Structure 1
Amino acid sequence: MLTSLLWRARWPADATRTYYAITGFSSLFWVLNSTLSLVYMATTVGLSPLQMVLVGTVLEAVTFLFEIPTGIVSDLYSRRLSVIIGYLLMGAGFLLQGLVPTFEAVLLAQVIWGIGFTFTSGAEEAWLTDEIGQDNVAQVFTRGQQVYLGTTLVGTLAAGALGLIDIRVPLVASGAGFMVLAVGLLLVMPEQNFTRVPRDERETFRHMGRTLADGIALARRRPVVRSFLLVSLFVGLSSEAFDRLWTVRVLEDFDFPDFLGTDNPVVWFTAFSVIGTCIALGASLVVNKVSPASVNALHPRGMLALLAALQVLGVAGLAVLGNLWLALAAMWLRDAAVALSMPVQAAWLNRNVDSRVRATTLSMNSQANAIGQVAGGPPLGGLANRTSVSTALVTSAVVLAPIVAIYARLKPPAEPK
């Protein structure tokens, strides 16, 4: 019976409703873990700044290396099976991370759940497209994003409430939740329209090597591609340290105010997460309302340069400002600038890069960012260990700074003659 369940649901549900359920529950369980996981690593596990960064570096390297092997399962055997395996492994990794508070266990957990993430990456969207047709997915994806945002806020508040019991509780609940989700999908997730991807269309390591070689050749010929490749590399070199060390900076260098009788970091980091999400969402809504021309400009290099400068200032501000709320404001400024710049940059690429090289360009940018994170994280983590977290964050801002000039000099591609 178990073997048959791997390939066919016992009680197949509607594909669209199943997708909404996957989106809602996965975002809920994800945020249960992510809201306080860095606080858990820094306090309960007691990781040093270098170890904090190494955890992220291991995760990034695992997802980079396993993206293609796990994609073969989705392309050759079953999108449904790939998603179920992915959530099962993610749950196991989060459980291990929450139950065993040691550096070695946390590292192993990143390997397990990182592999699981690659099983789900792209497989959900491909499964839904197979089941309901490509002409119907846009509206479903849009509604799914709304479900994602709503459950993210609920998950953040739930993580804070559970964390007051014990900071490990939301992490363990996240892992258990993902595993229950996997079992539920085993019973109800339909798959009726799957067809194997033709051999010449599959992602393989040989294909990835060709993509990289083609991308390098393309970057030599086209300054726009070269510029975006450099941006992705510098962002990767800088971001791993910021993503892992901002929590350490806040915990080590500031005292939390006593609010409603508590200065518990669980309460405050939950509040920080909610405030940051609301600021990023509000900034996006305001900019789209007040200046839609800038957001939708054909060549928005000025706006991208400004947003890049705000990111650099935000990282530097977090590093050097001595007041908790000013430092957090700098971090939220950086996060809002990132949230605003991502869709603008994506739209710029899609409008101005020829369709024949678009896939190569996007894939190459992703690879450059991953390489940058793996290469840049450990040195900055080591610097934090030898000097201070603030010094490492200032260095991270310096590493990121060249993207301002790159964006400012970015020119539209020359019109073909």
Structure 2
Amino acid sequence: MMKFHASQVYTVMGFWTSLANTTMFTTYAVYQVIAVGLNPVQLMLVGTVLEVTVLLFEGIAGVIADTYSRRLSVLIGTFVLGFGFLLEGSVIWLAQAVPILSAFLWLLLSQVIFGVGHTFISGADAAWVVDEAGEENTGRIFLKAKRAGLLGTLIGIAVSVWLSFLEPNLPYIGGGMLYLLLGIFLLIYMKETQFVSVQQQDEAVSHWANLKATWVSGTRVIRRQPVLLMVLLVTLFSGAASEGYDRLWQAHLITDIGFPQSPPFWIGLIAVVSTLASLLVMRAAERRIDLNNERIVLRGMILLTVLRIAAILALALSQSFAWALAAVLLFEIVRTLTSPVYDTWLNLNVDGRSRATVLSMMSQSDALGQTAGEPCVGWIGQRFSIRASLVAAAVLLVPVLAVYNRVRTKHQR
């Protein structure tokens, strides 16, 4: 049987999950708005249910990964996501077969399953590959996986549009099947050799005591390391800012700027161009940036945050389509590069024994920021304008810049 190194498995995961997610989410509005018939309030509820589920389960899943097995946690999450997305793609059929629940209620249930599956993978996949491949290889692996994910994104855009033309729900059916296939691949090729579970360390202790001990250990790690407390602030404000941008940039282009031609054509073209440009940038970063040097990583995070703020402000203040297009492309490229750099910086500051728990707490903070930021930024848009909402999203990133600068100053001292 063919053998895969941990870094290769992680790269396959990066490609396959990006392919599946892009297949589903590129044309999600066609399915949810046109086929299912959701109104704006229902669309907001769908997002809220997802984020609340992540907020509630993120810490629990991280503790399970650190207590028993990161591999087991990833496998559970992958299969749960597959079934959740299959359910989401079948809500109209289910509403007809089981009329007790409407398609909207079935959709909400699928978001709960989606959120639970996400929490089992979040943090556990990164913790697993860092353990198996070594911290010294972390930056290179994350960059390579992200680059593979961009290739999956390019393919997924085309697959999503094609399946959506056939039937609006097929992208979700296809994405769910892709996750199930990934689960089978991981079941065979994902090995765990470096992790020692808490249960193995002390078999006399009960399961609940082990879970509690792991959770307490994770919180102690964060309390003892001021840099991790600062990371919590980063994820909180970044989550709030990203939610505002993601919900509003297309609406801003449609209602305030206007497209030269069909909006779906331009939205797809923006996705393709930003992905291709991100591939080039990621390749250059992989060759020239030493992500094992924390000082370089911190400088990179500060620069990338400044560029994200500038891009959102440029979009908010844009008066022409060309200006807005340049701002959107800049933001998407910067966000793509930010992900592996941030993951590297975070893993360099996390203790291996509680890595999955701490990473899950960071994701929990991000979910809290998104849950709190969405209504605030949305209210500003309703009360004033979408431009004002985008400015608010940019302002929410300013504290992130301050946190990075403070950490950099402490390192210099």
1:296-307 alignment, distance < 5 Å: 298=295, 303-307=300-304
CA distance in 1, matches of 2:230, 2:332: 22
Structure 2 counterpart of 1:329: 326
- What amino acid is aligned across from residue 246 of structure 2 in structure 1? D
- Residue type at the aligned position of 1:59: L
Residues 201-222 of structure 1: CA deviation (Å, up to 9, x unaligned): 9983564355346534643xxx
Where does residue 3 of structure 1 map in the other structure?
none
Report deviation, 1:307: 2.6
The alpha carbon displacement at 1:174 in A equals 1.4
Answer yes or no: is 1:232 the counterpart of 2:243: no
SS at match of 2:387: helix
Q: Give the superposition deviation at 1:72.
A: 6.5
Matched residue, 2:248: 245
Q: How does 1:307-322 map to 2 (within 5 A)?
A: 307-322=304-319
> With structure 1 as the length reference, what TM-score do the two structures score?
0.72
**Aligned counterpart, 1:404:** 401
> Are residues 1:204 and 2:211 paired?
yes
Identity %: 32
Residue ranges of structure 1 left out of the alignment (5+ in a row): 1-11
CA distance in 2, matches of 1:161, 1:58: 29
Would the alpha carbon gap of residues 385 and 74 (structure 1) be closer, same or farther in structure 2, given more than 3 Å must change? same
Q: Secondary structure at the match of 2:197?
A: coil
Mean Cα displacement is larger for which, 308-317 or 384-393? 384-393
- Picking from 377, 380, 404, the partner of 1:380 is 377
Q: 1:285 to 1:123 in 2, by over 3 A?
A: closer
1:24-103 correspondence runs (5 A): 24-38=15-29, 40-41=31-32, 44-45=35-36, 47=38, 51-70=42-61, 82-100=73-91, 103=104
- Gap runs ≥5 in structure 2: 93-102
1:281 paired to 2:279: yes
Q: How many residues align?
A: 392
Secondary structure of residue in 2 paired with 1:413: helix
Structure 1 Cα separation of the partners of residues 193 and 290 of structure 2 = 41
* Residue matched to 2:96: none
- 8 Å contact from structure 1 (residues 295, 344) kept in 2: no
Q: 1:397 to 1:415 in 2, by over 3 A?
A: closer
Partner Cα separation in structure 1 for residue 294 and residue 31 of structure 2: 43
User: Is 2:86–2:173's contact at 8 Å kept on the other side of the alignment?
Assistant: yes
SS in 1 for 2:410: coil
1:323-361 Cα shifts (integer Å, max 9, x gaps): 33422321221222233344445555666x596999597
Q: CA deviation at 1:106?
A: 3.4
Q: Does the 8 A contact of 1:53 with 1:381 survive in 2?
A: no
Q: Which residue of 2 aligns with 1:215?
A: 222
- Shift of the 284–189 alpha-carbon distance from structure 1 to 2, 3 Å rule, reads closer
Give the structure 2 partner of residue 390 of structure 1: 387
- Counterparts of 2:300 and 2:145, CA distance in 1: 29
Distance 1:302 1:68, change over 3 A: closer
AA paired with 1:32? T
More off after superposition, 269-278 vs 225-234: 225-234
Residue pair 2:291, 2:344 contacting (<8 A) in 1 also: no
Aligned-pair CA distance for 1:378 = 2.8
Partners of 2:399 and 2:165 in 1: CA distance: 42
Report which stretch shifted further, 110-119 or 385-394: 385-394
**Structure 2 SS opposite 1:275:** helix
| Whole-angstrom distance in 2 between the partners of 1:212 and 1:76 | 14
Looking at structure 2, the residues matched to 243 and 302 of structure 1 have their Cα atoms a distance apart, in angstroms, of 25
Distance change >3 Å, CA 230–CA 26, structure 1 → 2: closer
> Residue type matched to 1:374 in 2?
T
CA distance in 1, matches of 2:290, 2:137: 27
Letter in 2 for 1:97: E
RMSD value over aligned CA atoms?
A: 4.6
Distance 1:324 1:38, change over 3 A: farther
The answer on whether the counterparts of 1:24 and 1:147 sit within 8 Å (CA) in structure 2 is yes
Contact 1:32 1:159 in 2 (8 A): yes
- Write the deviation string for residues 142-164 of structure 1: whole angstroms up to 9, x where unpaired: 87655444333222222222233
Q: What's the secondary structure of 1:204's corresponding residue? A: helix
Distance change in 2, residues 1:28/1:334 (3 Å): closer
In 1: Cα distance, 2:173 partner to 2:17 partner: 14
Q: Distance in 2 between matches of 1:81 and 1:414?
A: 36
Match of 1:270 in 2: 268
Per the TM alignment, residue 62 of structure 1 is displaced from its structure 2 partner at its CA by 1.9
Post-superposition shift, 1:183? Answer: 6.0
| Amino acid in structure 1 at the alignment position of 2:27 | L
Matches within 5 A, 1:115-194: 115-121=116-122, 147-182=148-183, 188=188
Q: Is the 8 A contact 1:16 1:140 kept in 2?
A: no
TM-score normalised by length of structure 2: 0.72
In the alignment, the residues of structure 2 paired with residue 357 and residue 83 of structure 1 have an alpha-carbon distance, to the nearest angstrom, of 17
Residues 295 and 408, structure 2, Cα contact 8 Å, conserved in 1: no
Distance in 2 between residues matched to 1:347 and 1:27, nearest whole Å: 19
For 1:85 and 1:228, the matched residues in 2 are separated by 27
Taking the aligned partners of 1:374 and 1:65, their CA distance within structure 2 comes to: 12
